[in-house]
Structures are given as C-alpha cells and as structure tokens.
Structure 1
Amino acid sequence: MCNTFSANKQIGLVSTFSDLVNTNFEGEINALCWYRNLEGDFNEIVTRLSLKENITEVFPEDLMTLELSEKGNTAREIILNDLQLLTEFGASPSLNLLKCYERDDEFDFISTDVYSFHVDRSPIATDTFLCTYHGAASDIIPNSQTEQKILIPEIRAKLKELHDGPEEEFEDFLKENYFDLHYQVHEGAEPVNLELGHLWRLAVDHPKQKVLPCVHRAPIEREREYRLLLIC
C-alpha cells in the first residue's frame, strides 16, 4: 500500500474495517488508518443538509430523505455503511455537519478547545474513530514532537497562580480542568493531515493503554465551507 502515510512511524495502515478494529497499537504506532479512495459526491450531501447550529448532528434518516444524484447516492451509501460498521462494532458514531467548534479564549497562555493539540482521555478502554468526508481534515503529530503544556515552566507557574490552593490538590486541578490533555508543538515539528475519506482509529489515554495517546487537533475551517465529519 503506497500512499502519503506509509513512511510515517506513528501510523499503521490497514485495508479493511476488521483490521482497523482488531489491530493492536504497539511501539510508536498510536494511529491506525483504513486507507480509502472514496467515490461519490460528498459535497452534494453537504449542500442538501441544513445547518441548524454550529454543529448539527445528522442521523441516517436525515440522509435517507435527501434527493441525490447517482454520485451523491454513492456517497450516502458509504456514510451509512461506515455508521453501520461502527455501530455493530459497539461504538456510538455521530455524523456532524460542522461550521465551527466553540473557542476557548478564557486564558491567553493556554487553550483547552479542540483546535489546540490534545489527547483524548477515558476511564475505560476505548478508541477515537473519525473520518472527514468533506471540508478541512484534522491533524495528528508524533508525541516526540510535542511537550505537555503543564510541564512548560512559564505555563505551569501561571496555572499555579490560577489554582491558588493547596499544593497537594494542584494535579487534580489540572485534570479536572483538562489542562493536562493539551500539548505544545516543538518548533519545526511537522503535523500530519488525516486527509479526506480515510477512517482513522486514534489511541486514547485510558488505564489499559499500552502506547502513548495520539496527539491531534481539529483544523481551522475554510471560509464558507462546512465539514462533514464522522466521529466517535
């Protein structure tokens, strides 16, 4: 399988959904990609859907009501199949028509929104699945090219001022406010764009995880273009 991800040590490539969900993360690999060249007109689906809020969840019945061309129908069948595969696997996939996410601008020295490089955390063993069908796609980056923001001295000092409580409660304060999930990218680092159509499985920080969680971020949306994103 020859593509833009094949030389990346962080990424494992698979050719089926079964391999995507059954392949173990190991070593430096904390992102698995079911690499696909999808047919179909996903832009047509986006133009037929109605955005009710900045993020609008789209359900299978919403897709089924759309009057589409042959290429639009091909795209719809792909999305419905992806939703079914993930649901049968035991995941809870959500298809979102997305204008933008909410921004976190409360502090000028640290951000906790999804546009910041971050990892996902769960109390139980799980993974993050995502596929961008239309619009800007997310980025990932090797852990070696990042540093946890709470370990950067100047940021940590400001967080301690913000905490203003007992030292023994500081680490809990960082977790409760999700500060510990966010990462600073090293100068000269090279994020990897996840591109369109591929179904990804990213490692999450949980008690049974054997690899480092995958550091990723949501993209800045392009002007006047909505994203169509499957995520769970």
Structure 2
Amino acid sequence: MKNSFSDNKQVKVVSTFSELVNSPFQGTMNAICWSRNLVGDFQEIVAKLELKENMTEISVDDLLALQLSEKGNLARDILLSDIQLLTDFGASPSLNLLKCYERDDELDFISTDVYSYHVDRSPIATDTFLCTYHGAASDILPNDQVEQKISIPEIREKLKELHEGSEAEFEAFLEEYFFDLHYQPKPNAIPINLGIGHLWRLAVDHPTQQVLPCVHRAPIEKDGVYRLLLIC
C-alpha cells in the first residue's frame, strides 16, 4: 500500500528495521519511515492497561501481565519485538499510554510544549524514534515550510522584554528555556501525518548532524481515545 508521504522529499520509506537505522539522512530528507501495516488488536491492550495521571510508562512486565485474546497477543508480540529491536540497537525506548501532555500556557505569545512544532536537540549523535500504535499520530513539516519563532519580530521583542538582560546573554536565555527549538508553520504549510504503526526515525539537532533537524509536533488527542506511543 502506498503511503501519502512516500513521494515527499523529506521522507525516505524503507521496509526493514535494518534499513531504518542504517540509511543516512541527506539533503532535505530528515525523516525515515519503516512502513508497516500492523496486525493485532492494540485497542484491547490500551483498554486493559491502567492510566495513572495523564501519562503512564508501560513496562515489559506490564505487557506480559495482560490476559489477551489472540489478536491482543499479536499486538503485544509486535510491541515486545519493537522494544527489543530498539534496545538491541542501543536506544532506550519508552512505551507510553497517554491521555495528554502538559500544556504550556504561561506566555500568551509563544508556546514551548510538544503540541508546538519543534525540533529535538541532543549533545550526542542520536536520532528520535517514534511509533504510534493507537490514537492520534504526530505531524512533521518540511524545514522550508516553517519559521523559527524567535526570528519573528513581534515574538522576539516580547522575549527581550521578558529577559531584561544584555544582548549577549539573550541568545543563551533563548536556548536555556528552549524558545529556539520552536517553529511557526508558514501560511501554506502542509503537515505530513506519521500515521499508525509505522516506525519513524527523525533527525535531531546535534553538532555532527549533516541535515537540518526534523520539525514535528504531538497531535491534539481525540476525546476519550488514549495514545499508545513508543518513543526514544
């Protein structure tokens, strides 16, 4: 089945985990998708897991303790396999059951929560891995369809008023509070939805990265529908 993102220059679509982790980012391509049509009943797993507060990390033991139907077992096997693949690769995957993330509404002119388009930053060479098995899926945007929020004059001026320090200290202030990681979509921006069941690798901002980091955001959750999300 052809994906809506398969013709996009930002995305490379692969068919194995090995290709996912070994394919280099290059040019404008900073997102790689292991395209999958998963079998199994992930809804059953979500229904049997216990949500504590707005987000709960689900352990392998939590998964193994569930009494599941045949289709539920198929879904659990996929989750365990993905966790093992990423762990063996050297990543630290976290499986999350999610009602919603915390919102950042402290400032009315700029948001720095995960619902805002942003990039991930790391001091070491790493990538972000992401898969949504149930619920709403994340979006990404090409880098030429976004503008860094701190470069928008009215936002920059309000941040300077908030800072009240020297110009030399201002750039460090923007980094310290992660304002520089967030982006505003341009008027005609077309988001790419990451879909359900595909395992993604997104480029991160770090010193040795050869491409621009991938701009992405968490989705607004559907009412009453929990997300089941693997991320590292």
* 1:6 counterpart letter in structure 2: S
What aligned pairs does 1:60-75 form with structure 2 within 5 A after superposition? Answer: 60-75=60-75
SS in 1 for 2:26: coil
Question: In 2, distance between residues paired with 1:110 and 1:126?
Answer: 28
For residue 3 of structure 1, report the CA deviation from its aligned partner. Answer: 2.2
SS in 2 for 1:107: coil
- Provide the residue aligned with 1:11 in structure 2: 11
Question: In 2, distance between residues paired with 1:37 and 1:117?
Answer: 27
* 1:184 counterpart letter in structure 2: Q
Percent of paired sites with the same residue = 74
- C-alpha deviations, 1:36-92, integer Å up to 9, x for none? 000000000000000012110000110001010000000000000000000000000
* 1:188 counterpart letter in structure 2: N
* 2:20 counterpart letter in structure 1: L
- Provide the residue aligned with 1:167 in structure 2: 167
Question: In 2, distance between residues paired with 1:165 and 1:3?
Answer: 49
- Provide the residue aligned with 1:120 in structure 2: 120
For residue 188 of structure 1, report the CA deviation from its aligned partner. Answer: 1.8
TM-score when scaled to structure 1?
0.99
- Provide the residue aligned with 1:104 in structure 2: 104
Question: In 1, distance between residues paired with 2:181 and 2:15?
Answer: 31
Question: In 2, distance between residues paired with 1:159 and 1:144?
Answer: 24
* 1:87 counterpart letter in structure 2: T
* 1:120 counterpart letter in structure 2: D
- Provide the residue aligned with 2:218 in structure 1: 218
- Provide the residue aligned with 1:48 in structure 2: 48
- C-alpha deviations, 1:11-44, integer Å up to 9, x for none? 0111100010000000010000000000000000
- Provide the residue aligned with 1:140 in structure 2: 140
SS in 1 for 2:87: helix
For residue 5 of structure 1, report the CA deviation from its aligned partner. Answer: 1.5
SS in 1 for 2:57: strand
Unpaired stretches in structure 2, ≥5 consecutive residues: none
* 1:159 counterpart letter in structure 2: L
Question: In 1, distance between residues paired with 2:5 and 2:119?
Answer: 20
* 2:53 counterpart letter in structure 1: E
Question: In 2, distance between residues paired with 1:198 and 1:2?
Answer: 13
SS in 2 for 1:33: strand
- Provide the residue aligned with 2:183 in structure 1: 183
* 2:85 counterpart letter in structure 1: L
Question: In 2, distance between residues paired with 1:42 and 1:77?
Answer: 11
For residue 2 of structure 1, report the CA deviation from its aligned partner. Answer: 2.9
- Provide the residue aligned with 2:59 in structure 1: 59
SS in 2 for 1:46: helix
Question: In 2, distance between residues paired with 1:6 and 1:168?
Answer: 44
For residue 203 of structure 1, report the CA deviation from its aligned partner. Answer: 0.3
* 2:66 counterpart letter in structure 1: L
Unpaired stretches in structure 1, ≥5 consecutive residues: none
Count of matched residue positions in the alignment of Structure 1 and Structure 2: 232
Question: In 2, distance between residues paired with 1:226 and 1:116?
Answer: 20
